[in-house]
Every structure is written in C-alpha cells, then in structure tokens.
Amino acid sequence: MIKIYAPASIGNINVGFDILGAAISPKNGTSLGDYITITPSDTLKIKNIGRFAFQLPKNMKKNIVWKCWKHFRKIIKTNTSVKITLEKNMPIGSGLGSSACSIVATLVAMNQFFNKPLNAIELLNIMGIIEGEISGEPHYDNVAPSYYGGLQLVINEDNFISQEIPFFKNWIWIVAWPGINISTSSARSILPMQYDKNTCIEHSRLLSGFIHASHTQQENLAIKLMKDIIAEPYRMQLIPHFLEMKQKILNIGAINFGISGSGPTIFVICNKISIANNISHWLQKNYLKNANGFVHICELDILGARNIEV
C-alpha cells in the first residue's frame, strides 16, 4: 500500500503569472491538500472520499485520477490494475491548485507503487500536461510547488522545469476561500490575448526585481515589487468588492494581498501573528459566503509531495 499527500499551492503570487508558485500548509496542522492511496486490485477501481468528494464527477473516466492513470499506464506499458482512493480535501475551482494536488499525489503514488520507473523531471512533465488538459495549456506554477515544495520558479529550460528560489521565513501566509468556485478556464478566458509593450516591460521589471530581492533577502524591496499587472486588473471583477477588501486588509497590517491563482481564493502576507489573527477574523466574518468556505493561517510547505505512513 502506498499513500501520498500533496499540499495546496498559491499560483502567480501577484508578480509571477504562470511561472511562480508556493506550496502552503496551515499552521494548525489541518490538511490543505489531497491524499492518494494505491493498493493492488484485479481491476481498476477509483474511490472518492474526503470533505470535497461530492464535487467530483460520478463518471470515473472524467475523474482526473483516471486521466493520470491513463497517461502513466501508457508510458510504462503495464497491464497491472490497482485500486486508487482519492481523499479530496481541496475544493475544485478554488484557486489553490486543487487539480494539481490530485495530479501530483496520484502520479507520485503510482510511480512509487511501480518501483519508480520515471524520474522527477519526467513525472513533473506529465503533471504539467495533465494540468493543461483542464486549464487549456500546460503550466507548472501549481504542480511544481505541490511536488517539490517551497517557492518554485518555472524555468522550463535545459531539463529544468522549475527551480526553488529563497523565501522570507518570517512571512505568514493567509488564504481565504469564500465557498464558491471559479473555473480556471473561465478565469483565463477573461484575460486579454495581447498586452501592450509598456505593460510587458513593467512586468519584466517587477518579476526580475522580485527574484533578485528574494535571492538577496531584501524583504521591503520584494514586497514593493509584488504587483499583479497581468491578471488582477481583469480578474478582480470576478470577486465582489475586491478593491475595498484589499484596502481594508492592508489597513489592518498586511504587507501584501492578491488573488491566488485564478481565484476566488485570496492570499494575504503579513509578518506578525497578531496581525494574521486579526485579518483571519475579518475574512471569516466578511469574505466567506457559506459553511464550505475557510480561512487558514499558513506557512510555506517545504516538503512538497510525501509519503504518509499507513
């Protein structure tokens, strides 16, 4: 029996559209990610459990776990069948890398079950391809951090799909999902097909400056450069009262605020736990729309996908 956990992730992180992602874990030990358990079986079986299993399709062949199995089985050329149990702790369409969690956990578990026929680069490449089947094109800003952990920069050059960059250990991350969903494809379709030259130049300045500030541990500079001029101006219309909420959170003491991935989850960064608690209370009262919603005070998950003892 193999059991793997893959953590949630924040894609883009304002300044790095499609090429920056951070794996996160709640400080209180809550599982904000998916578990996959694989056991031998005479026929392929997929079982869904967990808090958000009700969101998964009834048709097995529409389940992303089945898609992972299909890709993996074709690559390693095996006729062996297994039973796959997905513990779905992540809401679909939340902007926290829900599909990436399932993809990463499933492929890592299958690779271990079959004695690791694929290396890390091969696995991550498949993860991006399957993720692309959902969003419309391959991208790695969720699967890379969920797989490797930490803060990942997508390189996609010379067999390096992503590499970890330094992060600020005093940062406290808060994520708030209101309890409603936005499809990744819809959130991507709202973006313009082209950007003007000045926007491209400014985005390059912000991103390169943030990477430099991270490596040289210039916290204030990094915060100033964490601006989203690519997606936020368009996606904020999908989140009611976004600008008013952003200003309120910054007034409480946050040092950064943005949309996690495609939304509607928002993320907040602060550097004092007292401020984090105040922001968490405000978001619970003002941002959650139903009982399914949640707010978590988090830290970066530096482990990524890992084995769970059973």
Q: What is the pLDDT of residue 255?
A: 98
| Whether pLDDT at 77 is above 90 | yes
As annotated, the residues of the chain forming the CATH 3.30.230.10 domain(s) are 2-166+302-307
User: What number of other Cβ atoms are within 10 A of residue 293's Cβ?
Assistant: 19
**Nearest to residue 65, comparing CAs of 127, 146, 142, 9?**
127
Q: Flag whether 101 is marked binding.
A: yes
177 band by pLDDT with thresholds 50, 70 and 90: very high
| Whether pLDDT at 138 is above 80 | no
Q: Flag whether 11 is marked binding.
A: no
Q: Flag whether 187 is marked binding.
A: no
- Overall average pLDDT of the 200-210 stretch: 98
Whether the Cβ atoms of residue 32 and residue 7 lie closer than 8 Å to each other: yes
Q: What is the pLDDT of residue 186?
A: 79
| Whether pLDDT at 135 is above 80 | no
Q: Flag whether 97 is marked binding.
A: yes
2-166+302-307 has CATH 3.30.230.10 classification: yes
- Overall average pLDDT of the 258-280 stretch: 97
Q: Flag whether 95 is marked binding.
A: yes
Percent of the chain surpassing pLDDT 70: 99
190 band by pLDDT with thresholds 50, 70 and 90: very high
Could you give the CA distance from residue 247 to residue 187 in angstroms, rounded to a whole number?
A: 23
Residue with tokens 């193999």: 2
Q: Flag whether 41 is marked binding.
A: no
- Has this prediction a pTM greater than 0.75? yes
Q: Flag whether 150 is marked binding.
A: no
As annotated, the residues of the chain forming the CATH 3.30.70.890 domain(s) are 172-300
126 band by pLDDT with thresholds 50, 70 and 90: very high
- Overall average pLDDT of the 156-181 stretch: 94
Q: Flag whether 93 is marked binding.
A: yes
Q: What is the pLDDT of residue 79?
A: 87
Q: What is the pLDDT of residue 275?
A: 98
Q: Flag whether 94 is marked binding.
A: yes
Give, in words, the CATH class of 172-300. alpha beta
